[in-house]
Structure 1
Amino acid sequence: MTTSRRRATLAVIAGAAIALGTSACGGAPSSGDAVQQKIDAVTKQGIPGVQVVITNPDGRTRTLRSGVGDTATGTPIADDARVRIGSNTKAFAATVVMQLVDEGRVDLGASVEHYLPGIVRGSGNDGNRVTIRDLLQHTSGLTDYVVAGGAKPEDVKPGQLQIAGSEEPLPHFTPAELVKISTSLPPGPADKDVAAYSNTNYILLGMLIEEVTGRPAADEITTRIIDRLGLADTYFPRPEETGIRGPHSHGYHRVGGKQVDVTDGDVSWAGTAGAMVSTGADLNRFFTALLRGDLVSADRLAEMKRTVPLNKNPDDGYGLGLVRVHNSCGKEIWGHGGGIPGFTTAGGVDTAGRSVTLTFNHVAMTKESGEAVSQAIDAALCER
């Protein structure tokens, strides 16, 4: 497939975007019944199924659900259902990079050109002007390869969404091919004080990890984080793997007014920006461990939590692979979130160590459904 055709294909799929929940609704304490009511309100907005996993600081976990994980059978979402976690993958990749900084193998102030010579070049792009910190914090100005073609997910026409099982499945991409899509277009303005979200940054970070360690980024994420924390339901898909292993929810995308099952597909286009699979319980464990200081040094964690405003929502702060928001009951929440065709994950960990992950098997949201999701996360984090 030509570069231009690949760019067009990527342009019609929903990017692995931030989905950390915030809400401006009232902050009264909520009971478990109130949380259930809030997630029921999400499915009433046309989202097939929702699950929320709440983990208390003492490790006690409970799971609530609404709707279905499979519209064909009506089967509910299982408590241990795996989902594609989209841009939560960025937090895993960022953690590995910061571990390499701790080990003296990566310098955040060094240029991309220093580690990956000749990769960021062309159309006005220059790897000498982009640092590793810029990649982590989305201050590089590099064009996002996912939206390089200019199409919006809501503009997708029937038959355009290229998924496994369609007449023309989404092809396999290498990281270098994704970066080439980005660098075929001029960069945007590189504002060091505002995070301009771009998946290209985290594809490059995956390439950096491989260059520095001599091992695939997926292997480093597995060894350094997944195995270390015992995240039994979390994994990075193998090259050209299209299905989801083990128990999982089906994922859906609305195309031409119909819910299309997009569970299976080659997610190499997401790579270290958004390809991983996990569960709500495992995500809670990961973010809790990271924010407790179990995975990086105190100095590196402090750098990860040093934020700039995010262009998608200036009220949110983007650090180095971490997002900070304040919810309606005044809590500071840290996490990431993500969206990928078929799945959305949102939530975070408060400063007391309470963690919440809400997952649902859809990605394109209306303003109303987005607000319903935010209120559900808010209720779970604010309940007493």
Structure 2
Amino acid sequence: MTDHSTDHSTDHSTDHMPGRARSRRLIHLSAAVLSLTYGLAAAQDTAHAEKTAHAEKTAHADRTVHTEAAARPGNSIQESLDRLVRSDGFPAALASVRGRDGRVRDYTAGVADLRTRAKAPVDGYVRIGSNTKTFTAVVVLQLAGEGRVRLDEPIETYLPGLVRGGGGDGRRITVRQLLQHTSGLPDYTAFLAEDPLSHRNTYMQPRELLDMALKEKARFRPGAKWEYSNTNYLVAGLLIEKVTRRPLAEQIDQRIVRRLGLRHTYLPDAGDRSVRAPHPKGYHRDEPDEPLTDVTRWDPSQAWAAGGMISTPRDVNRFFGAVLGGELLEPEQLREMRTTVRADGLGKGARYGLGLISTPLSCGGLAWGHGGDIFGYHTGNAVTEDGRAAAVAVTRLPGSLEALGHVDKAVDAALCS
């Protein structure tokens, strides 16, 4: 497999930090198969979700699903999920795996609801956090293929006067640098991570979030290095809306979701704090000795183009397989997407393209994906060029780098088994 690469270094560290500081650090570590991506969003239990529950369950039942409901001898994937629940304290773990033979198998462990002890649903809806960035990047690259956006043009061209101040200058930051996290823009989520539960029901407009980031000084000169910042994709979402004169959610739906037939994938409408049924509830705590809080309901406006989408493990695999397989982008744009820079903060050997991450597999070769974090949910996922795919979702943020590594190993095991 060829990695279209350029050598850019980074000093993004992965130091260990205690208590609440460690929790915030984990959130800021970013996404991929070998780490976190920060988002923020919403959840379930609303009247709308109850009304649609029966229809969604019926739709799931109609799908050809090969479910592994219980562990079998030598079944490393199911055993990995069981360990995530038993040893790492995740309330639930869901996985969907497509093997070399093209067969799809779904797995579950744990419970969907800590109070009722209901079983985790097969291929249930979860918040996919920063996997949203890949959807956003695909739309921008499609616009580039249509000649409506140029990757090496300053964002000032499309959003005049929007990015100004100590945090960055839109006249010096290109569209490519936004998508590749080499812009130097500060990350607005640093402000929200200080007291996350207080923001659960707060609607925030993209410009409000951008203003938070621009109060800080630029992290570095544009293009000087790689550093993960959700602000980049906030601006990319605004760029899409300015160029198309249509809402971001509509563009993602028409250009990607409907085109691929992703029946269980969507960017929630503004203010919609629910998650469609069936879904496992998401939980959160800041400190190890605190009880888990149900955070399924959350306003998704805080994540938006950087991390607001909802999907299922099976749909996530279908999407990333379509990206890598050239179903959504012309060859030129796919080459641009796969042109990577070093992203040391994402794990050994990880590299970041335009909303797409390459990671070495233990069995050799590369896997491509992203991964995502949002309060209540963490998703690790990747696909290979020969058609293998794996997505593992758990229903709380990993409480340690060790727990995070166990999710990553479950993805690796699924792809290498």
Given the two structures, how large is their TM-score scaled by the length of structure 1? 0.87
Q: Secondary structure at the match of 1:187?
A: coil
Q: Counterparts of 1:58 and 1:174 in 2: how far apart (Å)?
A: 45
Q: Is the 8 A contact 2:26 2:401 kept in 1?
A: no
Residue of structure 2 aligned with 1:238, choices 269, 278, 281: 269
Aligned ranges for residues 119-158 of structure 1 at < 5 Å?
119-123=162-166, 125-148=168-191, 151=194
1:338 aligns with 2:351: no
- CA change 1:150–1:284 in 2 (3 A) is closer
Offset from partner CA, 1:104-133 (integer Å, 9 cap, x none): 000001111111011110125211110000
1:361 aligns with 2:395: yes
Instruction: Tell me which amino acid in the other structure corresponds to 2:34.
Output: G
Give the structure 2 partner of residue 374 of structure 1: 408
1:17 aligns with 2:59: no
- CA change 1:299–1:272 in 2 (3 A) is same
- CA change 1:13–1:371 in 2 (3 A) is closer
1:284 aligns with 2:320: no
What is the Cα deviation at residue 345 of structure 1? 0.6
Instruction: Tell me which amino acid in the other structure corresponds to 1:66.
Output: A
What is the Cα deviation at residue 21 of structure 1? 3.5
Give the structure 2 partner of residue 260 of structure 1: 293
What is the Cα deviation at residue 76 of structure 1? 1.8
- CA change 1:141–1:89 in 2 (3 A) is same
1:35 aligns with 2:77: yes
Q: Counterparts of 1:195 and 1:177 in 2: how far apart (Å)?
A: 25
Q: Is the 8 A contact 1:356 1:377 kept in 2?
A: yes
When the two chains are superposed, the root-mean-square deviation of aligned CA atoms in Å is: 2.1
- CA change 1:373–1:13 in 2 (3 A) is closer
Q: Secondary structure at the match of 2:109?
A: strand
What is the Cα deviation at residue 191 of structure 1? 5.8
1:113 aligns with 2:147: no
Offset from partner CA, 1:54-104 (integer Å, 9 cap, x none): 013554211111111211111122113100000000000000000000000
Segments of structure 2 that go 5 or more residues without pairing to the other structure are: 1-23, 36-71
Q: Counterparts of 2:317 and 2:116 in 1: how far apart (Å)?
A: 29
Give the structure 2 partner of residue 173 of structure 1: 204
Given the two structures, how large is their TM-score scaled by the length of structure 2? 0.81
Stretch of structure 1 that moved more, 235-244 or 189-198: 189-198
Give the structure 2 partner of residue 228 of structure 1: 259
Matched-pair identity in %:
41
1:161 aligns with 2:194: no
Instruction: Tell me which amino acid in the other structure corresponds to 2:278.
Output: P
Give the structure 2 partner of residue 84 of structure 1: 127
Q: Counterparts of 2:29 and 2:415 in 1: how far apart (Å)?
A: 24
Give the structure 1 partner of residue 383 of structure 2: 349
What is the Cα deviation at residue 373 of structure 1? 1.3
- CA change 1:230–1:150 in 2 (3 A) is closer
What is the Cα deviation at residue 359 of structure 1? 0.4
Q: Is the 8 A contact 1:234 1:277 kept in 2?
A: yes
- CA change 1:106–1:20 in 2 (3 A) is same
Instruction: Tell me which amino acid in the other structure corresponds to 1:79.
Output: V
Offset from partner CA, 1:292-351 (integer Å, 9 cap, x none): 000000111011001001142362100000000001111310000000000011020012
Residue of structure 1 aligned with 2:213, choices 182, 195, 214: 182
- CA change 1:125–1:371 in 2 (3 A) is closer
Instruction: Tell me which amino acid in the other structure corresponds to 1:20.
Output: V
What is the Cα deviation at residue 364 of structure 1? 3.4
Give the structure 2 partner of residue 98 of structure 1: 141
Instruction: Tell me which amino acid in the other structure corresponds to 2:116.
Output: T
Q: Secondary structure at the match of 2:351?
A: strand
Segments of structure 1 that go 5 or more residues without pairing to the other structure are: 1-10, 23-29
Q: Counterparts of 2:409 and 2:169 in 1: how far apart (Å)?
A: 42
Instruction: Tell me which amino acid in the other structure corresponds to 1:84.
Output: R
Q: Counterparts of 1:193 and 1:303 in 2: how far apart (Å)?
A: 19
Q: Secondary structure at the match of 1:381?
A: helix
Q: Counterparts of 2:25 and 2:285 in 1: how far apart (Å)?
A: 12
- CA change 1:38–1:13 in 2 (3 A) is closer
- CA change 1:189–1:16 in 2 (3 A) is closer
Q: Is the 8 A contact 1:55 1:61 kept in 2?
A: yes
1:320 aligns with 2:354: yes
Give the structure 2 partner of residue 26 of structure 1: none
- CA change 1:336–1:373 in 2 (3 A) is same
Give the structure 2 partner of residue 66 of structure 1: 109
Q: Counterparts of 1:31 and 1:98 in 2: how far apart (Å)?
A: 45
What is the Cα deviation at residue 14 of structure 1? 4.4
Q: Is the 8 A contact 1:13 1:161 kept in 2?
A: no
